[in-house]
Amino acid sequence: MTASSLVPLTDAATAPPSRRRSRRPLTFDRVSFFLVFLGLPLALFLFIVVWPFAQAIWYSMTDWTGFTPDMSFVGLDNYQKLIHDDMAKWIPIVKASGATAN
């Protein structure tokens, strides 16, 4: 077996030209498919997951107790109180250990 037998028989001059794929134009059918099968799940995800998460972050930055209509924005003060509270550091550890208070 010689090196010349390993070379392919076609060269660039005799090889067929490569076809370039062209994009199909956007039609109403394709756009409606995208909106229904991609837009609808995205809208549901935003409504069911992202919006409550954003609301929870907003409520955590207010002094709202949940029982009164009065609410004022306090910013990160609630988080600062949580970090500097000594008892707040132990409550998750106690609950995670399975201990119950009777």
**pTM as predicted:** 0.54
pLDDT-derived band at 15, boundaries 50, 70, 90: low
Q: What's the average model confidence in pLDDT over 53-73?
A: 92
Q: Does residue 11 register a pLDDT over 60? A: no
**Residue 59: how many other CB atoms lie within 10 Å:** 12
Q: Does residue 59 register a pLDDT over 70? A: yes
Please give the Cα distance from 64 to 67 (Å, whole number): 8
- Look at residue 44 in the predicted model and tell me its pLDDT: 95
Domain range list for the chain = 27-60, 62-102
More confident residue, 12 or 84: 84
Please tell me the number of Cα atoms within 13 Å of 58 on its side-chain side: 7
Contact 71, 61 (CB under 8 A): no
Share of the chain above pLDDT 90, in %: 37
**Number of residues in the chain:** 102
